[in-house]
């Protein structure tokens, strides 16, 4: 009954946008929409739907039905929902996928079924190199790449000793691997904590005793809120510099506000990026959803705009997979994140920025772009991918 009700509600939206009851393109949105990390998937979904709205409610001139499913950050459930989208709903394309453990579970079942998978967040390393698939594209990044910018920043800033922390799952391991690839100093220790762990007091006491020049942390969603609050309460934020990625972001800053001031983040996106498409995206996202968009939102909005450009090239058709792949790989759209093109492994070559948490003109805690940390950056694994 849940699936039927969800499909009915979304089908009404298709009728309103496309003027017809029968959608020509069916898209499955699979993401983490509940629990401590649900804000990430919700940003992805909301931004994708805003992109659809900006495209006139159609993609490539065709009416669209979006079927939304919540994987609850459970890989097994993600596989079940992917199979439901493919076998029962007969979707043409699946997009979203928030966390790497879910992506690792659903990537092969989806692509092996011949359904195009357009990820807009998770980018685990195994699918970037040897495990790449012609049926998989990403509008985000390889996990390592996301963190390499802060490794470069730590080197440039002259930090001799850095302490690393991340949750114990694929993205956490990729995060610290990426940081270390570009950091030339000494890693005092790297600590892996439980996924969705609420209390970091023991880890904070240990890192304080280690006396690092800076720390680097990767704690997405509610994990990030808890860690930053406890780091601030310990009197360390501002004393021992906190470098991070996907810890203080558009989904967590509203809960942290001034508690996050002074954090230095690495990101492929900042809401203050100065390009026309981003200004429209940010303004309309704020009006519609009453919050600033995060990098998760930006990447999912890009996914909608990319699909619109590709389906325009194919005349709205999805049955010719090679034609659809070629149209997507052309990336003939304007990304809100700046320069964007696909590498051979169908992950982007893109800029990564240093984005600080500081007070804006109105005195509120906000993200301030401090410039490009890594320009036109390609991931470290694309040469292992056999795709050309």
DSSP string, 128-191: TTTT--TTEEESS--HHHHHHHHHHHHHHTT-SEEEEEEESSHHHHHHHHHHHHH--SEEEEEE
CA distance to 37, 359, 362, per residue, from 250 (Å): 13, 15, 18
Alpha-carbon distance 261 to 72, whole Å? 31
Pairing of β 62-70 and β 25-31: parallel
Q: How confident is the model over 212-233, as a mean pLDDT?
A: 97
The single-letter DSSP state of residue 363 is: S
Q: How confident is the model at residue 15, as a pLDDT?
A: 33
Q: What is the pTM of this model?
A: 0.90
Q: How confident is the model over 88-99, as a mean pLDDT?
A: 97
Given CATH 3.30.450.70, say whether it is the number of domain 144-267+352-383.
no
Q: How confident is the model at residue 303, as a pLDDT?
A: 98
Q: Do domains 2-141+273-338 and 144-267+352-383 have the same CATH topology?
A: yes
Q: How confident is the model at residue 8, as a pLDDT?
A: 35
Of residues 24, 29, 25, the one with CA closest to residue 6: 29
Q: How confident is the model over 152-171, as a mean pLDDT?
A: 96
pLDDT level of residue 22 (50, 70, 90 thresholds) = low
DSSP string, 13-72: HHHHHHSSSS-SEEEEEEE--SSTTHHHHHHHHHHHHHHHHHTTTEETTEEEEEEEEE-T
Alpha-carbon distance 210 to 205, whole Å? 9
Q: How confident is the model over 226-247, as a mean pLDDT?
A: 97
Token pair recorded at residue 150: 């802060």
pLDDT digits (tens, 9 = 90+) for 94-111: 999 999 999 999 999 999
The residue extents of the domains of the chain are 2-141+273-338, 144-267+352-383
Q: How confident is the model at residue 36, as a pLDDT?
A: 86
DSSP string, 76-123: HHHHHHHHIIIIIS--SEEEE--SHHHHHHHHHHHHHTT-EEEESS--
The CATH H-level superfamily of 2-141+273-338 is Response regulator (3.40.50.2300)
């Amino acid at each position: 009954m849940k699936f039927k009700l969800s499909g009915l509600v979304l089908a009404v939206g298709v009728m309103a946008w496309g003027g017809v009851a029968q959608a020509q393109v069916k898209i499955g949105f699979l993401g983490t929409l509940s629990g401590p990390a649900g804000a990430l998937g919700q940003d992805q979904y909301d931004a994708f739907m805003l992109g659809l709205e900006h495209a006139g409610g159609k993609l490539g001139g065709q009416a669209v039905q979006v079927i939304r499913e919540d994987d609850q950050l459970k890989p097994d459930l993600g596989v079940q929902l992917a199979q439901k989208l493919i076998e029962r709903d007969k979707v043409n394309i699946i997009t979203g996928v928030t966390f790497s453990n879910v992506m690792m579970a659903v990537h092969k079942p989806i692509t092996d079924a011949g359904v195009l998978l357009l990820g807009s967040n998770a980018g685990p390393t195994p699918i970037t190199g040897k495990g790449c698939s012609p049926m998989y594209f990403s509008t985000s990044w390889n996990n390592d790449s996301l963190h390499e910018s802060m490794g470069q920043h730590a080197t440039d800033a002259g930090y001799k000793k850095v302490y690393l922390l991340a949750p114990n799952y694929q993205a956490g391991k990729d995060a610290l691997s990426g940081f270390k690839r570009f950091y030339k100093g000494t890693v005092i220790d790297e600590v892996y904590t439980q996924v969705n762990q609420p209390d970091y007091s023991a880890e904070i006491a240990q890192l304080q005793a280690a006396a690092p020049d800076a720390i680097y942390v990767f704690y997405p969603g509610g994990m990030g809120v808890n860690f930053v609050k406890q780091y601030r309460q310990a009197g360390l934020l501002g004393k021992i510099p906190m470098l991070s990625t996907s810890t203080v972001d558009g989904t967590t800053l509203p809960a942290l506000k001034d508690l996050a001031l002074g954090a230095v983040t690495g990101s492929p996106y900042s809401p203050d990026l100065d390009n026309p498409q981003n200004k429209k995206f940010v303004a309309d996202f704020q009006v519609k959803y009453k919050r600033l968009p995060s990098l998760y939102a930006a990447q999912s909005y890009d996914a909608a705009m990319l699909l619109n450009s590709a389906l325009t090239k194919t005349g709205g058709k999805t049955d010719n997979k090679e034609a659809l792949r070629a149209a997507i790989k052309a990336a003939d759209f304007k990304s809100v994140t700046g320069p964007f093109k696909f590498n051979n492994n169908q992950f982007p070559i893109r800029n990564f920025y240093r984005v600080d948490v500081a007070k804006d003109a109105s005195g509120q805690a906000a993200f301030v772009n401090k410039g490009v940390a890594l320009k036109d950056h390609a991931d470290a694994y694309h040469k292992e991918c056999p795709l050309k």
